[in-house]
Amino acid sequence: MFKGKTAWFSDSVGKGVTNFWVSEGGALSSWKTADYIFSADASSEDTKRIYESEDYVKNRATVFHSNFLSACKPRQSVTSVPIGHYVLPPDSVQNEMRALIGRFIWETDEQVMCEDQIYTEV
């Protein structure tokens, strides 16, 4: 599913999700070079470092919530899950957005959360 793609995972992401990525042909790399940057917690140190980086300031380092991958798993397809709502912005941005828009997709989709946990335990 992820052949030819590279990703970086924050320490906040469960091992199960990372294993899923690798088992589906995805490669791992540093966050500087990865095609996809995944995190499960905007306030974890390694993710905050990205928000403070030059790449982020230049709009070249969008962080996605790792629940995106959990959503892809039951569907066995990356094209049936739009990735654009799985953005994980810095905490202050999240708060501002919650006040104006409501909850994020990765907060509301309980089914996805369960998938995530089940897979982590395997």
Partner 1 sequence: KPPSASKPRGLRCSGCVKHMNEMDSRSFDAVLRSCRFQCDFHLVLREAEDQFRRSQQLKKTSHTLTHTNIHTRDKNRKSTSEDTERSKREKHRLSHQPSDRCVSLTPLRRPREIYSVR
Contact positions vs partner 1 (CB under 8 A): 5, 34-37, 51-52, 56-57, 59-64, 68, 72, 78-85, 87, 89-90, 92-93, 96-97, 100-101
* Shortest reach from residue 109's CB to partner 1, in Å: 15
> CA nearest 18: which of 122, 110, 114?
122
3-state SS class at 88: coil
Helix (H) or strand (E) holding 37: strand 36-39
Minimum distance from residue 67 beta carbon to partner 1 (Å)? 14
Nearer to partner 1, 58 or 121 (CB): 58
Q: Do residues 49 and 61 touch, judged by C-beta distance below 8 A?
A: no
Q: How far is the CB of 20 from partner 1 (least distance, A)?
A: 14
Which of residues 21 and 119 has its CB atom nearest to partner 1 in the complex?
21
- Torsion-angle region of residue 10: left (phi > 0), alpha (psi -120 to 50) or beta? beta
